[in-house]
Structure 1
Amino acid sequence: MLKIQEIREIIKLIDQSSIQKFTFESDGGKIKLEKSSGETLTVVSDAPLAAPAPQAVPQVAAPVAAPAAPAPAETPAQASAPVEVAEDASLHKITSPMVGTYYQASSPDAAPYVKKGDKVTAESIVCIVEAMKLFNEIESEVSGEIVEVLVQDGQLVEYGQPLFLVKEN
């Protein structure tokens, strides 16, 4: 199955292209992307390919708004101080690649992957986003220091919603 970063890149490429439908099948998993009325629909399935489609699709379909402008605009205003909003231009935002539930650690009794002030490298795991009973490890795209954690453990997150602010090295 593809890594989250690879899925994120595919979504970006599809959004920037004139392709309306895209399907990828590998190792018993299937990813299907469709554009319609300004939204991208992402379907991810780990069910065997022989499983009946009516059972698989309703359980895994998740509409994902490609522009996602309202959610990211509201979240920093609610979660950050005005001073940090002014610094946003110099900070890298690690965003959620999918709709799901944010978890700061691999289990409730484990230490968080990262917290404010921690140093991260590109490809460091910073959190988990659980979507459709799949726990997806989210990696940092840059090296630097976590300046702010913008969401709380167990919070629902949207596609493209900023999760962390990172001061790049």
Structure 2
Amino acid sequence: MMELKKISELAKILKQNQLTKLDLTEGDVRLVLESAGGKVVLQEMPKEIEIFQEETTITMEEKKLVVESTSAYEQKSPLVGTVYLAPQAGSAPYVKVGDKVKKGDPVCIVESMKMFNTIEAEKDGEVVAVPVDNGQIVEYGQVLVCIREEA
């Protein structure tokens, strides 16, 4: 996880240079800062944290979620398409945060070119984040679910 001081400095640079977006990747951590009407919104998967000018607000729960997601295995989309988190409308989702999954368990469906592709868990573990919404269009390599592997 990036240091809060560094994130604050990047937010200041974003504001001073009147940039609308800053996307930075260091190792396996991706940071996206976007300007939104005088405040800067920080996205560090899976949680959004707001930074108002130079102050940083982050609760211990949010910090725990960020640490969990950055240390978790990121299951990525193997293709471009529309993601469906449940087998059909009105059904319970395949997985939700806190669920235990085994390698091969379905986690979602990605529809591409009228083909419905079941995406299966690549690791055993606990789901710590589902950073996509049902019906969202996803890109190749976009994270669909974060799984903290069991020891």
- Indicate if the aligned counterparts of 2:83 and 2:134 stay in contact, CA closer than 8 A: yes
Which structure features the higher share of helix residues? 1
SS in structure 1 of the partner of residue 43 of structure 2: helix
Q: 1: CA distance between counterparts of 2:44 and 2:111?
A: 23
Q: 2: CA distance between counterparts of 1:88 and 1:148?
A: 7
Residue number in structure 2 paired with 1:150? 131
- Indicate if the aligned counterparts of 1:117 and 1:147 stay in contact, CA closer than 8 A: yes
C-alpha displacement of 1:111: 1.4
Residue number in structure 2 paired with 1:122? 103
Which structure features the higher share of strand residues? 2
Count of paired positions: 98
Residue number in structure 2 paired with 1:133? 114
What is the identity percentage for the equivalent residue pairs of Structure 1 and Structure 2? 46
- Indicate if the aligned counterparts of 2:46 and 2:69 stay in contact, CA closer than 8 A: no
Q: 2: CA distance between counterparts of 1:168 and 1:85?
A: 16
> What residue identity is the alignment partner of 1:155?
Q
Q: Which stretch of the first structure deviates more once superposed, 107-116 or 124-133?
A: 107-116
Tell me, yes or no, if structure 1 residue 77 matches structure 2 residue 43: yes
> What residue identity is the alignment partner of 2:101?
V
Deviations 1:22-42 (A, max 9, x none): xxxxxxxxxxxxxxxxxxxxx
- Indicate if the aligned counterparts of 2:125 and 2:147 stay in contact, CA closer than 8 A: yes
Residue number in structure 1 paired with 2:146? 165
Over 3 Å counting, the alpha-carbon distance change for 1:105 and 1:152 in structure 2 is same
SS in structure 1 of the partner of residue 108 of structure 2: strand
- Indicate if the aligned counterparts of 1:150 and 1:163 stay in contact, CA closer than 8 A: yes
- Indicate if the aligned counterparts of 2:106 and 2:121 stay in contact, CA closer than 8 A: yes
- Which of 64, 74, 81 is matched with 1:100 structurally? 81
Q: 2: CA distance between counterparts of 1:89 and 1:110?
A: 29
Q: 2: CA distance between counterparts of 1:157 and 1:150?
A: 11
Over 3 Å counting, the alpha-carbon distance change for 1:79 and 1:151 in structure 2 is farther
Deviations 1:83-141 (A, max 9, x none): 34444442100110000001011110221111111110001100000000000000000
TM-score by length of 2: 0.58
SS in structure 2 of the partner of residue 159 of structure 1: coil
TM-score by length of 1: 0.52
Q: 1: CA distance between counterparts of 2:111 and 2:78?
A: 11
C-alpha displacement of 1:142: 0.2
Q: 1: CA distance between counterparts of 2:120 and 2:87?
A: 14
Q: 1: CA distance between counterparts of 2:45 and 2:86?
A: 20
